[in-house]
Amino acid sequence: MKKTTSKARRGEGLYIVLISVHGLIRGENLELGRDADTGGQTKYVVELARALAANPEVGRVDLMTRQIFDAKVSDDYAEPEEPLGSNAWIIRLPTGPRRYLRKETLWPYLDCFADNALGHIRRVGLRPDVIHSHYADAGFVGTRLANLLGVPLVHTGHSLGRVKRERLLAKGLKEEDIESRYNMSRRIEAEEETLANAYMVVASTQQEVEEQYALYDHYRPERMVVVPPGTDLGRFSPPRPRDRRPGVFNQLARFLKHPERPMVLALSRPDERKNIPTLISAFARHEKLREQANLVIVAGNRDNIRDLDKGSRDVLTEVLMRIDEHDLYGQAAYPKHHTADQVPDFYRMVTRTRGVFVNPALTEPFGLTLIEAAACGAPIVATNDGGPRDILRHCANGILVDPLDEKAMGEAIWKIISDKDRWKRYSEDGLKGVRRHYAWEGHAEKYVRKVKSLRKEASRVRRGQQRLSGKLAQADRAIISDIDNTLLGDRNSLRGLVQRLKDEGSGVAFGVATGRRLESALQVLKEWGVPTPDLLITSVGSEIHYGPEITPDQGWSRHIDHRWERDALQQHLLDLPGIELQPQVDQRPHKLSFFVDPDKAPSIEEVERLLHQEDLHANIIYSHDRFLDLLPARASKGFAVRYLADKWGISLERILVAGDSGNDEDMLRGSTLGVVVGNHHPELRRLKGFQRIYFADAGHAAGISEGLDYFDFFGSCSVPDE
């Protein structure tokens, strides 16, 4: 990806990162309704980004999404960056296959998205004030980024897996069919993890908080705030008396015998949940509506219904069949194409003809189209579920109905169209309510106030935990030390080293690299009063985690799994004399650990030869004349250090590593600055004479401090001339 062309500098305002992975996202001409993944969420996040960037307290907004190279979609989605006006950008990141994928198939590639997002943030050079994820897939990414960077996570669900699964089961779908089509277990697992980590969850309605999020194990109502989406009052506004008819009039007139009659409009993607066929029947079976109004169905874009996905194809087929069944030709319009720029004109046509906008959805988490219609002066009829309840409470501009009650729906529409005073009151009240409650400017102001309070809360939490977290995104150097007999061993010198890191290491990441398993490493560090490191390389380099949340690096696990045949390796080693398996607690998915009796066991060279003959691949680490660890060929402390240097953009020449034994050797060699403490094991003596490895006189933490001075680590960070 090319380097960002513009960046906010520190002190110029909040840096907000929005994440919305799936769908087709661009700044203009959004393809709303193209498919199930390109709906209201894509519009919401683009308008949110612009609104936040316009707030005077915000310095930069990055909306991160997936980069797509696919002849079936526009080249716009391949551009790595797209400006959204002043201070806001769409950032498109490579994520798995280059082609366009539906959201249910993206799960295996989200770690890749997170790594690339981290790389972008490092290039920007600012630590975000907040990570805001949208939908479950972005929640998976946002949880990892927020934990890695030590910043608050905000989440907006848009729709929830547990709610969707309940509704699909209620419709008669089988559990296994839901799972295979929607990858529902994976989605719900990600939602639970996100809710567990989020500092704030943004909901559109109180019902969403109380009835939908309450289904989750990590439901925490105190973390949830209702901030309704805004609408662009510049785009969505009522028609002026002398305005010419918009182009959409002619587009609809070819369907209609009397195009000037009141318009009953439904506008949504062709999704079964949108319940369009019920509206058609409600209109058709109401005799007076048929006589005095027109029905307009704008349901996405299509060239040929046969080419659409099955869900859209089924809905549109049913729409055409109902129109045919009720013989609505000349009374119903169903255009094949429309652009995003034409959407306000459809609403304004409703207002011009004194018609009604209808949202008949079976369930509606919010109802963005309802406030857009209201902003254009159109009265509404909507489902009595979710967001429409709040909208009607604020705007008083229509009637709520049971979405399955055809007769009630038809009567509600007719009640508004047939009563001029009611129509006028609903139109005027809707305009007032939208300006008061649903303007993006007000949304952004409330959002910024919440984010500023989150920053303070996150700061308090980190201080209370006494952790040196959140430095990796900005650090330009790092200290990585073995634990036993290197970092630990002398309490006085350890206290001095920890204090020195706090005093001098504001831009320095602190990490440990140990043969201990993760739980053991955390326990012993706690016992010795060492703050949770920014990074932990454990189990002799086979695992990497990040503090303070102890977030695993899944990319590392996948990287080292190459040609790792654990069971075969274990069997062949146990067939040798003098080699005994260590207790189960010391075994890890990517580490096999053995005790060795050097008087009975074959030499390490013989072990290597045996594995080679059996075409088995492992990195063999022998230390203290007693311990033998087998790791994947790609895993070791040294490999882990180099992986981290590359991932976080820290030069190896600015990483100081410290150790005392043979399992530290591969991280001491090479371009790193190495410190061997004075109490080292004899097996490291062979490293004497290497220019970039310093043998300290002092032992334990005092030896590390001696090495810091030798390399002027907090200054020039270099090997002194000798």
CATH architecture of 466-562+634-722: 3-Layer(aba) Sandwich (3.40)
- Rounded to an integer, the average pLDDT of 3-30 is 78
CA atoms within 13 A of residue 477's CA, in its CB half-sphere: 23
Predicted confidence band at 387 (pLDDT cuts at 50, 70, 90)?
Answer: confident
Q: Kindly report the backbone phi and psi dihedral angles of residue 336, in degrees, each rounded to the nearest multiple of 5, phi listed first.
A: -80, -30
How does DSSP classify residue 540? G
Q: 697 vs 470, 490, 504, 664, 675, CA distance in Å?
A: 33, 14, 23, 18, 11
- Considering only residues 585 and 80, tell me which one the structure prediction assigns the higher pLDDT: 80
Q: H helices within 466-553, ranges in order?
A: 491-504, 518-527
> Which DSSP string do the residues of 154-173 spell out, in sequence order?
EEE-SS-HHHHHHHHHHTT-
Residue, of 204 and 675, whose pLDDT is higher: 675
Evaluate whether 14-226 and 564-633 have a shared fold. no
Instruction: Assess whether pLDDT exceeds 60 at residue 460.
Output: no
| Per-residue confidence band for 459, with pLDDT thresholds at 50, 70 and 90 | low
Q: What's the mean pLDDT when you consider all of the chain? A: 90
Sheet of strand 673-676, all strands in order from the earlier edge strand to the far edge = 551-552, 543-546, 535-538, 508-513, 477-481, 655-659, 673-676, 693-695
Q: What is the pLDDT of residue 60?
A: 96
CATH fit for domain 14-226, picks 3.20.20.60, 1.10.3720.10, 3.40.50.2000, 3.40.50.10780: 3.40.50.2000
When pLDDT is averaged across residues 639-646 and rounded to a whole number, the result is 86
| pLDDT tier at 467, thresholds 50, 70, 90 | very low
pLDDT, mean of residues 184-188: 93
What is the distance in angstroms between the CA of the first residue and the CA of the last residue of the chain?
Answer: 42
Which has the higher per-residue pLDDT, 463 or 264? 264
Mean pLDDT of 413-431: 97
Residue 447: predicted pLDDT: 92
Q: What is the pLDDT of residues 326-357, one digit of tens each?
A: 999 999 999 999 988 899 999 999 999 999 99
The angle at the Cα of 570, spanning 565 to 574, to the nearest 5 degrees, equals 155
Query: Which of 153-167, 176-190, 313-327 has the highest average model confidence (pLDDT)?
Result: 313-327
pLDDT band, very low/low/confident/very high, at 8 (cuts 50, 70, 90): very low
> What percent of the chain shows pLDDT beyond 90?
62
Sorting pLDDT into bands at 50, 70 and 90, what band is 529? very high
pLDDT at residue 420 tops 60: yes
Domain ranges within the chain, ordered by starting residue: 14-226, 247-437, 466-562+634-722, 564-633
Query: Are 551 and 469 contacting, i.e. CB atoms less than 8 angstroms apart?
Result: no
Q: Which fold has domain 247-437?
A: Rossmann fold (3.40.50)
- Measured CA to CA, the distance from residue 364 to residue 390 in angstroms comes to 11
Task: Give the CA count within 13 Å in the CB-facing half-sphere of 154.
Answer: 23
pLDDT at residue number 624: 76
Of 575 and 615, the structure prediction assigns the larger pLDDT to 575
Task: Pick from 69-83, 121-135, 460-474, 619-633 the range whose average pLDDT is largest.
Answer: 69-83
pLDDT score recorded for residue 470: 56
How far apart are the C-alpha atoms of 543 and 557, rounded to whole Å?
A: 7
Residue 466: pLDDT over 80:
no
Q: Is the pLDDT of residue 608 over 90?
A: no
Range with the poorest average pLDDT among 38-52, 115-129, 509-523: 115-129
Q: What is the C-alpha to C-alpha distance for residues 204 and 530, in angstroms, rounded to an integer? A: 43
Look at residue 468 and tell me whether its pLDDT is greater than 90: no
The residue among 502 and 171 whose pLDDT is bigger is 502
Residue 383, pLDDT above cutoff 90: yes
The CA dihedral of 427, 429, 435, 438, to the nearest 10 degrees, is -90
Q: What is the CATH number of domain 564-633?
A: 3.90.1070.10
Give residue 458's pLDDT: 61
Spell out the alpha helix ranges (H) of 528-662. Answer: 554-560, 566-574, 604-613, 637-648
Q: What pLDDT, on the 0 to 100 scale, is given for residue 561? A: 87
Q: Report, as an integer, the average pLDDT of 571-594.
A: 92
Has residue 18 got a pLDDT over 60? Answer: yes
Q: Flag the least confident range among 257-266, 287-296, 343-352, 680-689.
A: 680-689
Instruction: Give the residue among 689, 688, 681, 644 at the shortest CA–CA distance from 664.
Output: 681
Residue type, position 435, single letter: R
Q: Across residues 536-548, what is the average pLDDT?
A: 91
Give the whole-number percent of the chain exceeding pLDDT 70. Answer: 96
How confident is the model at residue 275, as a pLDDT? 95
The pLDDT value recorded for residue 145 is 85
Sequence-ordered alpha helix ranges (H) in 84-203: 110-124, 135-149, 161-170, 175-182, 184-197
Res. 112 pLDDT band, cuts 50 70 90: confident
pLDDT at 639: 82
Q: What is the predicted pLDDT for the residue at 691? A: 85
CB atoms within 10 A of CB 630: 27
508 touches 534 (CB < 8 A): no
Yes or no: say if 463 and 502 are a contact pair by the CB < 8 Å rule.
Answer: no
Q: Is residue 147 predicted with pLDDT exceeding 90? A: no
The yes-or-no verdict on residue 469 having pLDDT over 60 is no
